Amino acid sequence: MVGRMSSEDSRTIPTQIQQSGSRALSIRWGDDVESVFDVRALRLACACAVCVDEWTGEYKLDPAAVPEDVHPIQITSVGRYAIGIGWSDGHDTGIYSFERLRSLADRDPSGLG
Ligand SMILES: [Zn+2]
């Protein structure tokens, strides 16, 4: 990760991150692809230690406990590789690496929903 940037790297480097409306987060990537995420799906995809058991990988978050209108209230950059999202339901320990976001987007180009 030192020095030159290959095209492979630019795939996972956002050039723009913005909320579009209250339900969507759009990310434009270095290779000029734009991904639009449903924000609640992102909340459900949280992989922090509170939502997923660190040791067993067991999914601990109950989707029914996440409000339908959950949305980010704060988005912070974490180093150069990730964003942290503070959510309206009070959850703020989630970190989403750009690589993970890109792979989520690539798996389902229409979003996560
Ligand atoms: Zn979490």
| CA 91 to centroid of ligand 1, rounded, Å | 7
Question: Domain boundaries in the chain?
Answer: 7-106
| CA 94 to centroid of ligand 1, rounded, Å | 5
pLDDT in the model for residue 107 = 83
Determine how many CB atoms are found less than 10 A away from the CB of residue 60: 10
pLDDT in the model for residue 9 = 83
CATH fold of 7-106 reads: NE0471 N-terminal domain-like (3.30.2020)
C-beta of residue 85 within 8 angstroms of C-beta of residue 42: yes
Residues 38 and 93: their CA atoms lie apart, in Å, by 19
pLDDT in the model for residue 83 = 96
10-residue averages of pLDDT along the chain (113 residues): 63 93 93 95 95 94 95 93 96 95 82 48
Burial of 62 (0-12, 13-18, 19+ CB in 10 A): exposed
| CA 5 to centroid of ligand 1, rounded, Å | 31
Residues 81 and 12: their CA atoms lie apart, in Å, by 8
| CA 42 to centroid of ligand 1, rounded, Å | 10
Predicted TM-score (pTM) of the model is 0.83
pLDDT in the model for residue 22 = 82
